[in-house]
Amino acid sequence: MSDKILLQHKVVIENRASMSVAGVIRVVSYDENRIVLRTDYGTLIITGRGLMAGEISSTNNTMKLTGNIDTLQYKGARDKRESILSRLTR
């Protein structure tokens, strides 16, 4: 297991119209239908319509966006610690 300190990751969605994300390492890409963000917990893909990036802060690793939010999807790496459920079912 890595001793890397992970950024706190938090997603807050309000009425599917606005969203704030903490723990953003970088913005990979964005347009009005899709925003792709890199976090310590994997790549976060946000899809919707009329998506607009609001505040982006590299100092506190946060991003705010607005628009009609349809889906959130994580892909790729995340903390590989074993879950409690997998340990209990051995």
Count CB neighbours of 56 within 10 A. Answer: 16
The SS3 call for residue 18 is strand
pLDDT for residue 58 = 86
The SS3 call for residue 49 is strand
Predicted model pTM: 0.79
Helices (H), 1-90: 84-88
Helix (H) or strand (E) holding 63: strand 62-75
* CATH numbers and ranges of domains, the chain: 10-78 (2.60.40.2000)
The model's pLDDT over 18-69, given as tens digits with 9 standing for 90+, comes to 999 999 999 999 999 999 999 988 999 999 999 999 898 988 999 999 999 9
CA dist., res. 64 & res. 82, Å (int)? 31
Map tokens 């074993």 to a residue.
82
pLDDT for residue 90 = 57
pLDDT for residue 80 = 52
